[in-house]
Amino acid sequence: MTSITLSGVNKSFGANFPVIRDVDLEIADGEFCVFLGPSGCGKSTLLRMVAGLEMAYSGQIRIGDRVVDKVEPADRQVAMVFQNYALYPHMSVYENMAFGLRQAKTPKDEIDRRVKEAARILQIEPLLDRMPKALSGGQRQRVAIGRAIVRQPKVFLFDEPLSNLDAALRVHMRSEIATLHRNFPAASMIYVTHDQTEAMALADKIVLLHAGKDMLKHGSIAQVGKPLDLYHRPRNLFVAGFLGSPTMNFIAATFIGQETAGAHVALKGGEELLVPVDGSKLAAGAPVTLGVRPEHLAPVPGPAGQTLTRKVSAVEHFGEYSFVYLDGGTPAPLIAKVPGDGGVKAGDTASYQAPADCCHLFDADGIALTQI
């Protein structure tokens, strides 16, 4: 049993600054769960609470069937990989990896076997005698992962492990962590990152945490689900706006009425669109926000049904695709991600179709209306 259950977990630093708010979460055996969110949302704190390095103010944490709230970090059968590697600077790579096993009084032969096996998996065998200061960032990260592997934990915890690496190495190490998950299918993994690309690439499940101006939501779970669920079916404006690069376009709109095929809305720019959601609880004239991702805006020759026609304010070319910036977004300009050079230039007026099934509608509280 390597599942992790958090029930009603709260944490605050001082009386007036809650960092984790009412977190209820189930992470299944062998699942790769990513805690995602902007800086300061409490994702690392939540991870550290699972590790036992931070105490919850209230609530319960279970690993498998065992409540671990009062269990020492070393006895939780978790291993953690830190952002800054946290290698023991005065010990060789071998000693770094063996340290935890020595503390657990593991027989010498077994320590040697496990360290060498981990070194083989991570291809760091030639580095075993080196000191940490003689290693590159990528090598240090491998040693940190090796130190976690040798303990054969039930749960692997990763606290932004790739954020100190350069872009190319980050992509490489990301695939190695995915391989590690395949090699240790029984162990659950929790991975903290603010990088949605890492989250989308690695996660079986993403836990997106709230942060920002709304202090009543800060540190609470904005949405939990499979990566593509969060991407295609965001539960609220925060999730819709956090996932995706460039971010989802938002346009202020007014609810006109509910039809069988969906909610009929009028955009601030004057267009009327149909969004396949259930808006039956909304009153006619209610303010709503339409959301559509840049890659779902398809260029069309001119105004027609489900289209947005706007003045082009700028075009950015990236070779394979271009970003066309259009007037009229809320609060940022609209962006259409189109293939090639986009076929337009700044100052043109261009039309883009927003397919109904790619549109999202959010009520005045920022909650997504249910898709039908």
Partner 1 sequence: MTDISTRSADGGAGGAALSLRKLAPVVFLAPAILMLAVYLLYPLVDSFRLSLLDWNGLGSNAQFVGLDNWKKLLSDTLFWEAAWNNILLAVFSVLIQMPIAVILAVVLDNAGKGSRILKILYFLPLLMSSVALGVLFKYFYDVNFGPLNALLDYVGLGYLAQDWLGDTRFALGAVIAVICWQYIPFYMVLFMAGLASFPAEISEAAKLDGASEATIFWKMKLPHLKGTIRTAAVLSVIGALRYFDLIYVMTGGGPEGSSELMATYMYRNVFSSFQLGYGSTVASGMFIVVILIASVLLRFSKRYETEV
Residues 6+ apart with CB under 8 A from 79: 100, 147, 148, 149, 151, 153, 155, 156, 157
CA distance 221 to 113: 42
Residue 323 engages partner 1 in binding (rule: CB under 8 A) = no
Residue 103 engages partner 1 in binding (rule: CB under 8 A) = yes
Q: How far is the CB of 81 from partner 1 (least distance, A)?
A: 9
Torsion of CA 94, 97, 98, 102, to 10 degrees: 150
Among 1, 67, 104, 367, binds partner 1 (CB under 8 A): 104
Stretch that binds partner 1, among 10-18, 37-45, 71-79, 271-279 (CB under 8 A): 71-79
From residue 11, alpha-carbon distances to 26, 54, 56, 62, 220 in Å are: 18, 9, 5, 16, 11
Residue in 360, 315, 359 with CA at minimum distance from that of residue 336 = 315
Q: How far is the CB of 16 from partner 1 (least distance, A)?
A: 18
Q: Give 79 or 273: the residue with its C-beta nearer to partner 1.
A: 79
Q: How far is the CB of 280 from partner 1 (least distance, A)?
A: 52
CA distance 273 to 19: 40
Instruction: Yes or no: say if 63 and 2 are a contact pair by the CB < 8 Å rule.
Output: yes
Residue 17 engages partner 1 in binding (rule: CB under 8 A) = no
Stretch that binds partner 1, among 49-57, 111-119, 266-274, 311-319 (CB under 8 A): 49-57
106-165 residues near partner 1, rule: CB under 8 A:
147, 151
Q: How far is the CB of 52 from partner 1 (least distance, A)?
A: 8
For 27, other C-beta atoms within 10 Å of its C-beta total 23
From residue 351, alpha-carbon distances to 67, 292, 327, 369 in Å are: 57, 14, 12, 26
Residue 56 engages partner 1 in binding (rule: CB under 8 A) = no
Q: How far is the CB of 49 from partner 1 (least distance, A)?
A: 13
CA distance 116 to 97: 9
Among 25, 34, 46, 78, binds partner 1 (CB under 8 A): 78
For 123, other C-beta atoms within 10 Å of its C-beta total 11
Q: Give 54 or 204: the residue with its C-beta nearer to partner 1.
A: 54
Stretch that binds partner 1, among 84-92, 216-224, 292-300, 322-330 (CB under 8 A): 84-92
Q: Give 52 or 342: the residue with its C-beta nearer to partner 1.
A: 52
Residue 13 engages partner 1 in binding (rule: CB under 8 A) = no
Query: Cα-flanking dihedrals φ and ψ of residue 87, to 5°?
Result: -75, 150
Q: How far is the CB of 201 from partner 1 (least distance, A)?
A: 25
DSSP sequence for 93-121: HHHHHHHHHHHTT--HHHHHHHHHHHHHH
Q: How far is the CB of 83 from partner 1 (least distance, A)?
A: 8
In the complex, the residues that contact partner 1 under the rule CB under 8 A are 51-53, 72-75, 78-80, 82-84, 86-91, 99-100, 103-104, 147, 151
